[in-house]
């Protein structure tokens, strides 16, 4: 059965209404500055003149849309509103053999209110669609390159030689990447075409959830959050390779699921006492995450193959989960009471650049 995994941008109206309820008497969770770092970068004199082009041997050579980050990162009031990325984790695909269509598509994407990036995408969204399967399944991902440059894909859930499956997919070409996940976990996938840094920075990444054969316990809500950085290259342009490649990179935005502040603008509705499971991946490309949900404690964390359960080990628990780029975890918590719970990376300089969302518990 051929299946297209799609991201649903649903629930917008409901969360807008809930968001309206959050005004008045609310704690000060509005950590985020409306001013992106870009202005600071421009003021510091880092302009396109400093932007070295992508390596000559890369498929970027001869491409249009060079990064022109000469202080152009002013919000564009005519930019289309962003499309909210569904925060809910998808259900596991039924059956044990999965044929998944994953077209490679260039897309103009509003990544923060007033800021548009010419993103390179898997499936038309950033992050790409979350693929959820079980250990031992057969996964066949059918890629078609609908763009004018070469791309590729690397599934961390698989073990295979680079030159076997992570092959160049030329413009107009198709490729099927087949794997059988041997291990449970939350895994990154990304484009591996040089310069990989730019292909990830410009949107080519996503999450694979591999459940154990028996599946996971039922909970009330499951969410999938991918943290990543945007290095703006000018309105409507691709990301800036020079900014992303800096030894001390300073992203314009750090985001959960592609868009700055989207779940702060539209809080995610939950209920007091509900059990929450969060699949969280740090896609980088450069910065880590210290994932924290304000006002809660994680009683279960499964991070990179290591399991912590408070119930099983004497009552120890977790406040924040450290994820280096390409690391991921399953985090579980129970919403303690009615009210507002921000989720952030506890590197608070990045919270002001969009790495914040809110659970609103009724
Ligand atoms: Cu690519």
Per-residue confidence in pLDDT tens, the chain, 362 aa: 454 444 333 333 333 333 333 333 333 333 333 333 333 333 332 333 333 333 333 333 333 333 333 445 789 999 999 999 999 999 999 999 999 999 999 999 999 999 999 999 999 999 999 999 999 999 999 999 999 999 999 999 999 988 888 999 999 999 999 999 999 999 999 999 999 999 999 999 999 999 999 999 999 999 999 999 999 999 999 999 999 999 999 999 999 999 999 999 999 999 999 999 999 999 999 999 999 999 999 999 999 999 999 988 789 999 999 999 999 999 999 999 999 999 999 999 999 999 999 999 99
170 C-alpha to ligand 1 centroid (Å): 10
105 C-alpha to ligand 1 centroid (Å): 10
Structure tokens at 264: 């702060």
Contact 223, 291 (CB under 8 A): no
pLDDT value at residue 312 = 84
pLDDT value at residue 334 = 98
* CB under 5 Å of ion ligand 1: residues: 151, 191, 193, 199, 204
Contact 308, 320 (CB under 8 A): no
17 C-alpha to ligand 1 centroid (Å): 38
177 C-alpha to ligand 1 centroid (Å): 15
180 C-alpha to ligand 1 centroid (Å): 23
pLDDT value at residue 313 = 74
25 C-alpha to ligand 1 centroid (Å): 46
121 C-alpha to ligand 1 centroid (Å): 8
217 C-alpha to ligand 1 centroid (Å): 36
Burial (0-12, 13-18, 19+ Cβ within 10 Å), 125: buried
pLDDT value at residue 133 = 98
195 C-alpha to ligand 1 centroid (Å): 8
pLDDT value at residue 57 = 36
Structure tokens at 85: 């990325």
149 C-alpha to ligand 1 centroid (Å): 8
Q: What is the C-alpha R_g of the chain?
A: 20
* H or E element in which residue 212 lies: none
140 C-alpha to ligand 1 centroid (Å): 19
111 C-alpha to ligand 1 centroid (Å): 19
150 C-alpha to ligand 1 centroid (Å): 7
109 C-alpha to ligand 1 centroid (Å): 16
200 C-alpha to ligand 1 centroid (Å): 7
164 C-alpha to ligand 1 centroid (Å): 17
Q: Which residues, 6 or more positions from 119, have their beta carbon under 8 angstroms from its beta carbon? A: 106, 107, 108, 109, 111, 126, 202, 203, 238
């Amino acid at each position: 059965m051929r299946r297209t995994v799609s991201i649903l941008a649903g629930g917008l109206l409901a969360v807008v209404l809930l968001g309206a309820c959050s005004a008045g008497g609310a704690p000060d969770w509005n950590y985020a500055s409306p001013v992106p770092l870009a202005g600071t970068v421009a003021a510091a004199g880092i302009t396109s003149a400093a932007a070295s082009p992508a390596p000559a041997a890369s498929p970027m050579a001869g491409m249009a849309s060079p990064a022109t980050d000469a202080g152009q990162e002013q919000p564009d009031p005519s930019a289309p509103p962003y499309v909210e990325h569904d925060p809910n984790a998808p259900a596991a695909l039924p059956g044990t053999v999965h044929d998944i269509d994953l077209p490679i598509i260039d897309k103009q994407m509003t990544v923060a209110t007033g800021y548009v990036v010419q993103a390179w995408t898997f499936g038309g969204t950033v992050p790409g669609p979350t693929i959820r399967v079980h250990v031992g399944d057969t996964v066949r991902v059918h890629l078609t390159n609908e763009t004018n440059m070469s791309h590729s894909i690397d599934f961390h859930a698989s073990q295979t030689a680079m030159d076997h499956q992570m092959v160049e997919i030329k413009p107009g070409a198709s490729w099927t990447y087949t794997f059988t996940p041997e291990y449970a976990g939350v895994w990154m996938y990304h484009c591996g075409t040089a310069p990989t840094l730019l292909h990830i920075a410009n949107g080519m990444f996503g999450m694979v959830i591999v459940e154990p054969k028996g599946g996971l316990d039922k909970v009330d809500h499951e969410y999938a959050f991918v943290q990543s950085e945007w290095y703006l290259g000018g309105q409507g342009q691709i990301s800036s390779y020079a900014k992303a490649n800096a030894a001390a990179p300073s992203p314009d935005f750090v985001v959960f699921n592609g868009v700055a502040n989207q779940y702060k603008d539209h809080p995610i509705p939950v209920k007091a006492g509900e059990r929450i499971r969060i699949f969280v991946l740090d896609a980088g490309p450069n910065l880590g995450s210290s994932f924290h949900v304000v006002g809660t404690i994680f009683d279960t964390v499964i991070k990179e193959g290591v399991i912590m359960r408070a119930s099983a080990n004497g009552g120890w628990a977790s406040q924040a989960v450290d994820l280096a780029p390409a690391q991921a975890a399953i985090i579980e918590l129970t919403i303690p009471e009615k009210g507002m719970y921000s989720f952030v990376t506890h590197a608070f300089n990045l919270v002001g650049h969009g790495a914040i969302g809110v659970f609103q518990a009724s």
